[in-house]
Amino acid sequence: MSKIAIIGLGIMGLPMAKNLVAAGHEVTGFNRSQAPIDALVAAGGQGASSIADAVHDADVVITMVPDSPDVEGVVRGEGGVFANAKPGALWIDNSSIRPDVAKELAEEAVAAGFGAVDAPVSGGEQGAIGGVLSIMVGGSEADFAKALPVLEGIGKTIVHVGPAGAGQTVKAANQLIVAVNIQALAEAVVFLEAFGVDTDAALQVLGGGLAGSKVLDQKGQKMLNRDFAPGFRLALHNKDLGIVTAAARQAGISVPLGSAVAQLVTSLVARGDGALDHSGLFKLTAELAGRE
């Protein structure tokens, strides 16, 4: 078992840290607010007063923070991971960030004497709690082999998808698929409600056919109940779709459906709905149909 430092104990990071404790690892966590640190300690982990305090003796350092600038801020600088982790430590970034930033930071980590993999996750809060996340990993074969025993404590489907940055590229594709599926589901629910159909029964039978998906399973009832308590916030999906559209432009390809949904998500965030679950796309879809 490893000594693991995890930086970022949010909706995803805290249950991931708890699962690593349950798997037998020695886990130390740091977060900007104290309550999640206290929750980790109550689950058998340890708390740290700073990033430097968390990582100084760790075999593995995990970062799970919202965006590219957050990751850069955590790993760079005098108080960051690269300046304070012990030589030979492995850095696993479970955040979802720009592929080019992931590649650049991995190169910095290797130059500083660390291993590095970008390993963004999919599965939302429930996947994190259940320890069944899907994890797409970019980095060298050797670093992937080192990371695997740790990642097995938080995920079920763990795949090495290529060199540094590849994990983030696959995660961007994941977020594109999820966003378009959520929007399609929202439109289907509005459609069903407009005809007065028994929506519970309709989603049950749709879920058993080709239209079935994890999005339908996890988000359909939330839409029916108008329950948009966050499992994955619209603001974060907005960030991820920005990564998708920027990377697509860089690659010279068109993502028409993804771009359209990205605009809808941006609209919701701009009007103040960014803290809602991404199933909150239903709100705008219903309003556009005149069925608020």
Distances in Å between the Cα of 67 and the Cα atoms of 39, 78, 141 are: 23, 20, 26
Residue 65 exposure: Cα atoms within 13 Å on the Cβ side: 21
Tell the CATH superfamily of the 3-162 domain: NAD(P)-binding Rossmann-like Domain (3.40.50.720)
* Average pLDDT, integer, range 77-102: 97
Burial 34-47 (b: 16+ CB within 10 A, else e): eebbebbeebebbb
Q: What pLDDT, on a 0 to 100 scale, did the predictor assign at position 137?
A: 98
Burial of residue 156 (number of CB atoms within 10 Å: 0-12, 13-18, 19+) = middle
Domain range summary for the chain, segments of one domain joined by +: 3-162, 169-288
Domains 3-162 and 169-288 share a fold: no
Active site residue 239: no
pLDDT digits (tens, 9 = 90+) for 40-59: 999 999 999 999 999 999 99
- When pLDDT is cut at 50, 70 and 90, the band that residue 1 belongs to is confident
User: Could you tell me what percent of the chain has a pLDDT over 90?
Assistant: 99
What's the average model confidence in pLDDT over 220-226?
A: 97
Q: What is the mean pLDDT of residues 111-122?
A: 97
For residue 136, report the phi and psi dihedrals to the nearest 5 degrees: -105, 120
Work out the mean pLDDT of the chain and round it to a whole number.
97
Query: What value does the mean pLDDT take over residues 22-26?
Result: 98
Architecture of domain 169-288: Orthogonal Bundle (1.10)
Task: Give the global pTM.
Answer: 0.93
pLDDT value of position 292: 76
Task: Dump pLDDT digits (tens) for 191-217.
Answer: 999 999 999 999 999 999 999 999 999
Q: Which of 18, 103, 171, 219 is catalytic?
A: 171
Share of the chain above pLDDT 70, in %: 100
